[in-house]
Copies of this chain bind each other. A is one copy, B any other.
Amino acid sequence: MTDTAPRPTLEAVAARAGVSRATASRVVNGGDGVREPLVERVRRAVEELGYVPNQAARSLVTRRHDAIAVVVAEPETRVFADPFFALQLRGISKELTAHDNQLVLLLTEGRDDHARVGRYLAGGHVDGALVFSLHLDDPLPGLIQRAGVPTVFGGRPGWSDGLRDVVYVDSDNRGGARDAVRHLVGLGRTRVAHITGALDQTSAVDRLEGFKDVMGDAGSRLVVHGDFTPAGGERAMRELLDRCPDVDAVFAANDLTAAGALRVLRERGRRVPEDVAVIGFDDMQPVAEQTDPPLTTVRQDIEEMGRLMARLLLHGDDELPRGTPAGVVLPTTMVHRASA
């Protein structure tokens, strides 16, 4: 919510749309009681000027709902199957509840439902939105910007070029990946592989970049694609063993992927860490402690990410570093267990 150019004002939006400031304000804050053609004109002016409501000012004047939407850009089955989301929601829930704000979780069956989520956000039902697990080409960011609700993203959005005033919280995915791969190289491993996450997400792309930072482009030969799920980790590990039977180390894009890879390694009679050292990412409990052997991994503080997203949305500018897009990037730490 910081910017180098002066921020377009609500007055400018009203003038451009040819409506009163009061009408523009009502549209920006949900559109209740304004005729559709006027709503459309104001929305267009908002878009053309790149207007983003000043959240602090808005909250003083119009904070009526004391409710914050959370949108996870994954099908609800995934939201409940991957403990990552439960942890992030825990941090968000604690922070919102401490400020007596209602957590409104908008669940979907998949991307086809995102237009409906955009309509709900535009409907004036919440004071802001927390959005995470965005994928490339998802219409959500555009829908959210048109909805005009203050938003904080979880994870660096990959499409931030076209948007202004993007605020996000992320982990140091690239730095954490470098730490993991350097550790494997430091153990004397020479055929270090990487099982990626879903590469339409910046977290997966950044971890892959961290792998390449250490292994160079030559390392690409040992990159196989996963999707952040245990099943994806199993598939990728089988492919890797077929392609390079003497692989001696694997950096997996997250702990669930590593858990799948470990199952396949055991199935194929490889000892971990003697034959193949394995490192994950997340330090997700109970997964990381209960794999066989327990997993060496890159820890990110997922609950804290959620808490911080909520805090940024509620308190805005005060908490933010300068710069556009404004991101807060949390450090990662290595957690050493038996697998590497």
Contacts and interface: CB of A to CB of B under 8 A. Distances in A.
A65 B32 CA distance: 12
A315 to B, nearest CB: 19
A76 B89 contact: yes
A97 B80 contact: no
A116 interface: yes
Contact of A89 (B65, B103, B107, B125): B107
A176 to B, nearest CB: 25
Interface in A124-150: 125
A123 interface: yes
Given A77-B90, A90-B76, A120-B67, A104 B102 contact: no
A318 interface: no
Interface in A93-107: 93-94, 97, 100, 102-107
A34 to B, nearest CB: 12
A117 interface: yes
A123 B125 CA distance: 9
Contact of A113 (B77, B97, B113, B123): B97
Contact of A104 (B33, B83, B89, B106): B106
B116 A93 contact: no
A66 interface: yes
A109 interface: yes
A116 B104 contact: no
A9 interface: no
A130 to B, nearest CB: 12
B94 A117 contact: no
A2 interface: no
A135 B254 CA distance: 38
B106 A102 contact: yes
A33 B90 CA distance: 35
A151 B120 CA distance: 20
A108 interface: yes
Contact of A109 (B67, B94, B107, B125): B94
Contacts of A97: 108-109, 113
Contacts of A113: 97, 102
Nearest to A67: B120
A70 to B, nearest CB: 8
B107 A103 contact: yes
A320 interface: no
Contact of A120 (B102, B105, B106, B120): B102
Contacts of A107: 89, 93, 103, 105
Contacts of A86: 80
Interface of A: 32-33, 65-67, 76-77, 80, 83, 86, 89-90, 93-94, 97, 100, 102-109, 113, 116-117, 119-120, 123, 125
8 contacts: A66-B116, A67-B120, A67-B123, A77-B90, A93-B107, A93-B108, A102-B117, A105-B107
Closest 3 CB pairs of A and B: A80-B86, A105-B105, A125-B125
Given A89-B107, A102-B120, A103-B106, 11 more contacts: A32-B32, A33-B33, A66-B116, A76-B93, A76-B103, A97-B109, A100-B116, A103-B107, A103-B108, A104-B105, A105-B107
